[in-house]
């Protein structure tokens, strides 16, 4: 059963729900697209979605164009308040980002993905 869907510019390469209690409704999605030719280009994006299962909504709350992303992983829940999201991209970088924002239920969510390193 399809709860919700969204068209992305590019090939969805990795999807992962945030494991932190306050952010279980946050879905991170990365894309990777190879443009072949004389000068090949690998580009992609990283996006955050607020998923409301009850209403069947999938709302994009953040999106950023990047180099093509091979993989993403959330940090395991631990002693910190804000989750980290790691991304490995086609430019050879490992980037660590920190999820900032508030989550007071489905309504009023404001999420920002800031560079950490």
Confidence of residue 1 (pLDDT cuts 50, 70, 90): low
CA distances from 7 to 27, 43, 64, 80 (A): 15, 17, 15, 33
The pLDDT of residue 52 is: 83
Within 13 A of 12's CA, how many CA atoms are on the CB side?
12
Q: Is the pTM of this model over 0.95?
A: no
Cβ neighbours around 21 below 10 Å, total = 8
- In the chain, % of residues over pLDDT 90: 32
Domains by residue range for the chain, with CATH: 11-115 (2.40.128)
Cα 46 to Cα 69: distance, rounded to the nearest angstrom: 8
Q: How confident is the model at residue 19 (pLDDT cuts 50, 70, 90)?
A: very high
What rounded mean pLDDT belongs to the chain? 82
Mean pLDDT of 35-53: 87
């Amino acid at each position: 059963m399809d709860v919700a869907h969204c068209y992305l510019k590019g090939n969805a390469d990795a999807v992962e729900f945030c494991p932190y209690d306050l952010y279980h409704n946050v879905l991170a999605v990365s894309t990777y697209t190879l443009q072949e030719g004389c000068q090949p280009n690998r580009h992609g994006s990283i996006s955050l979605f607020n998923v409301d299962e009850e209403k069947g909504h999938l709302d994009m709350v953040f999106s950023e164009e990047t180099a093509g992303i091979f993989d993403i992983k959330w940090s395991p829940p631990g002693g910190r308040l804000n989750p980290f999201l790691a991304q490995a991209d086609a430019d050879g970088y490992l980037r660590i980002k920190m999820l900032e924002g508030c989550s007071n239920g489905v309504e009023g969510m404001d999420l920002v993905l800031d560079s950490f390193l």
